[in-house]
Amino acid sequence: MKLAVASPTGLCFGVRRAIGQLERALAEYGGVCALGSPIHNPQEVARLAEMGLDVAGDVGGVPDGAVAFVRAHGVPSAELECLRAKCRVVVDGTCPFVRTAQKRAESLAREGYVVVVFGDPSHPEVKGILGCMGREALVVSGAGEIDSGRRFGRVGILSQTTQNEASLAEVVSKFVFLADEIKVYNTICRATIERQESIKNLAAEVDGVVVIGGRNSANTRKLVEISESLGAPTLWVEHAGEMDWGWAGVRQTIGVAAGGSTPDWLINELTEKLKRL
């Protein structure tokens, strides 16, 4: 059996940066309360919990005077201000690319555009973008959700950073027939694009793909969908313990890819076991 690992793979810049900030805060203060899960990977969250991490579901769950951590997905402006008012320290791990998307949304709203956010309305990054605008926006997860009978004057479009460029193009194309003016910001992160291109290449070269990453990770799910769409037999595992070794044993070439929220230690654990097989 031959093994091929997608390149690049694993933690993207924004998540790696945020986890580094969190680890330093844990080392300095001993205990940190994150507003929401700091990374969409249960195994990594468990590792950080052993270092003193606590996770709050909302601002009210963060104790007064705590050391608070804002994850890479970002938070609405009002929540960030609330944290700064009640906590002695706020470590802001918002990804710079997410911050750019937030600022783009703010500027579009200020300029009077009807803001359209392409993404998952339930995703924390999208909620953070919406919370930085100060007004309502239209959120669509695909071109099929756009009302073809509605007319628009000026429309400003941007994307959740982990979406697919081809799908963003479909959304933009739909508005060409519905709006008098369109302004588009491609806020999809370059790391996301690179990982999606990488798994396309990988799927064409192997007879089986293993994608490792948290099942609550949007970018990992995209990799699985791309691999499956190309006809490659695909397994999605969170860690090596979930690996179907019978499935692997009949493959001559196996490709390994990981979402942008999958830490190196989980990827290495899986590849080492595959190598031994």
pLDDT in tens, 21-54: 999 999 999 999 999 999 999 999 999 999 999 9
> Catalytic: 242?
no
CATH 3.30.420.10 for domain 13-94:
no
> What pLDDT sits at residue 134?
78
CA separation for the pair 101, 161 (Å, rounded) = 8
**pLDDT tens string 139-176:** 999 999 999 999 999 999 999 999 989 999 999 999 99
CA 107 from chain centre, in angstroms, equals 23
CA separation for the pair 235, 257 (Å, rounded) = 10
> What pLDDT sits at residue 1?
84
Helix locations, the chain, DSSP H: 13-29, 42-50, 77-86, 96-110, 124-130, 165-176, 190-205, 218-229, 245-249, 264-276
Residue 276 confidence (pLDDT) above 90:
no
Mean pLDDT rounded to a whole number for the chain? 95
> What pLDDT sits at residue 218?
86
Question: Do 81 and 59 touch, CB atoms closer than 8 A?
Answer: no
pLDDT-based confidence at residue 136 (cuts at 50, 70, 90): confident
Residue 230 confidence (pLDDT) above 90:
yes
Would you say the CATH fold of 97-184 matches that of 2-10+190-276? Answer: yes
Domain residue spans in the chain? 2-10+190-276, 13-94, 97-184
Residue 277 confidence (pLDDT) above 90:
no
97-184 CATH pick, 3.40.50.720, 1.10.3430.10, 2.30.30.110, 3.40.1010.20: 3.40.1010.20
CA separation for the pair 233, 256 (Å, rounded) = 12
> What pLDDT sits at residue 29?
96
Other beta carbons within 10 angstroms of residue 86's beta carbon come to 16
How distant, in Å, are the alpha carbons of 75, 107, 159, 182, 275 from that of 78?
8, 17, 21, 29, 49
Which member of 44, 79, 125, 238 is catalytic? 125
CATH (residue range 2-10+190-276):
3.40.1010.20
Is pTM beyond 0.85? Reply is: yes
